[in-house]
A = this chain, B = another copy of it.
Amino acid sequence: MKNLAIGIDIGGTNTEIGLCDNQSKIIALKKFKTQDYQSELSYISTLIENIQLIIDEIPSDSELLGIGIGSPNGNFYTGRIEQAPNLNWAKNVPIVNLLKEKLKYPIFLTNDANAAALGEKVYGGAKNYDDFIVITLGTGLGSGIFANGKLLRGYTGFGGEIGHINAIPNGRLCGCGKKGCLETYVSSTGIKVTVSEMIQITKRDSILKKFKFAEIDSYEIFQAAKQNDKIALEAFEFTSEILGKKLADIIAIFNPNAIFLTGGLAKAGDLLLSPVRKYTEENVMPIFKNKTKIEISKLIDSNAGILGAAALVFNELNIK
């Protein structure tokens, strides 16, 4: 029998459900709008219907091992989605227990950054690594950390909050309540704020001046940088310097094989990667120089969220 897992990627916009093997193939896929639901009951009910439709598509030569869920603020230990800021129905949802009432399979939950790390381990560039870190650069900065071949969860399940280490003393106000957190500078949101700050104080021209703040995203900044827009290029340099300096610290702490960048901002590829590598190597302790690979995630253009959630099943059940 072929081993399969269902991976569920709960995003602020869409919920995607995929039937996956452990070779990164998605055999069946369903999706629905996360934001159409105001209560956990109606959301969970639609979710179960869709899972059932996926289960009906399992080929006869295959076996479903379990269901993995990746969600913002998903807690592996409690099986709950706790206070997810972008999910209006998710104040404190015991999603694992709610699904278990209807579905007789092993069900696991984790947060989206940990799912990204699991995906990289099972399907991506980290197959041969026991010590690596995946950094997701989206609305915020999340991280999934493997140490000694295991996902670092922390004792209450909230390990890996690299986005909330301090980057700039008394710096930008963060959604968490602190000031100067790394994610306020290094994320799709962070680079957008950087550009808006730069535009306000410069007399120089920039392609980016034509956008309203709400319209701009890391994609537009990336496009402008490719056209050699000075403000966009400086924003990438500024962002990369802050990230590189912090990666130097992270390397001193974890001595990892590799660090993978993913998420919207990482789609800039070399424009981000080259300066990040430069600033990391400039700031790293001499014994770690040129010892850590820094790469864009191998899954950045695939259904990374679904694969990461499915990888949680293979990882927890120890299926290679």
Contacts A159-B255, A177-B286, A285-B178 known; A249 to B154 CB distance under 8 Å? no
The answer to whether A53 has its CB under 8 Å from any CB of chain B is no
Residue-by-residue, is A158-188 near B (CB-CB < 8 Å gives 1, otherwise 0)? 1111101110000000001110010000000
The answer to whether A25 has its CB under 8 Å from any CB of chain B is no
Contacts A159-B253, A161-B252, A161-B285 known; A166 to B245 CB distance under 8 Å? yes
The answer to whether A58 has its CB under 8 Å from any CB of chain B is no
Question: B164, A252: Cβ atoms under 8 Å?
Answer: yes
Question: A252, B162: Cβ atoms under 8 Å?
Answer: yes
Rounded to whole Å, the gap between the CB of A262 and the closest CB of chain B is 18
Q: Which residue of B lies closest to A177 (CB)?
A: B286
Question: A129, B158: Cβ atoms under 8 Å?
Answer: no
Question: B178, A283: Cβ atoms under 8 Å?
Answer: yes
The answer to whether A257 has its CB under 8 Å from any CB of chain B is yes
Question: A154, B254: Cβ atoms under 8 Å?
Answer: yes
How many copies of this chain sit in the oligomeric assembly? 2
Question: A152, B147: Cβ atoms under 8 Å?
Answer: yes
Question: B155, A129: Cβ atoms under 8 Å?
Answer: yes
Q: Which residue of B lies closest to A257 (CB)?
A: B155
Question: B283, A154: Cβ atoms under 8 Å?
Answer: no
Residue-by-residue, is A8-39 near B (CB-CB < 8 Å gives 1, otherwise 0)? 00000000000000000000000000000000
The answer to whether A291 has its CB under 8 Å from any CB of chain B is yes
Q: Which residue of B lies closest to A131 (CB)?
A: B155
Rounded to whole Å, the gap between the CB of A57 and the closest CB of chain B is 36
CB < 8 Å: which of B152, B252, B257, B286 contacts A165? B252
Q: Which residue of B lies closest to A285 (CB)?
A: B164
Question: B287, A255: Cβ atoms under 8 Å?
Answer: no
Question: B160, A253: Cβ atoms under 8 Å?
Answer: yes
The answer to whether A190 has its CB under 8 Å from any CB of chain B is no
The answer to whether A153 has its CB under 8 Å from any CB of chain B is yes
Docked complex: A209-260 residues within 8 A CB-CB of B: 245, 248-250, 252-257
Q: Which 6 A-B pairs have the closest CB atoms?
A: A154-B255, A165-B249, A159-B255, A161-B252, A164-B285, A131-B155
Q: List 18 A-B contacts (CB under 8 A).
A: A130-B155, A147-B148, A147-B152, A152-B254, A154-B254, A155-B255, A156-B291, A157-B255, A159-B254, A160-B255, A161-B252, A161-B285, A165-B252, A165-B253, A176-B286, A177-B285, A181-B285, A253-B253
For the complex with contacts A154-B255, A156-B291, 18 further pairs of A-B residues with Cβ separation under 8 Å are: A129-B155, A131-B154, A131-B155, A131-B159, A148-B148, A148-B150, A148-B153, A154-B254, A158-B288, A160-B253, A161-B285, A161-B288, A164-B252, A166-B245, A176-B286, A176-B287, A177-B286, A250-B253
Instruction: List A residues at the B interface (Cβ < 8 Å).
Output: 129-131, 145, 147-148, 150-162, 164-166, 176-178, 181, 245, 248-250, 252-257, 283, 285-288, 291
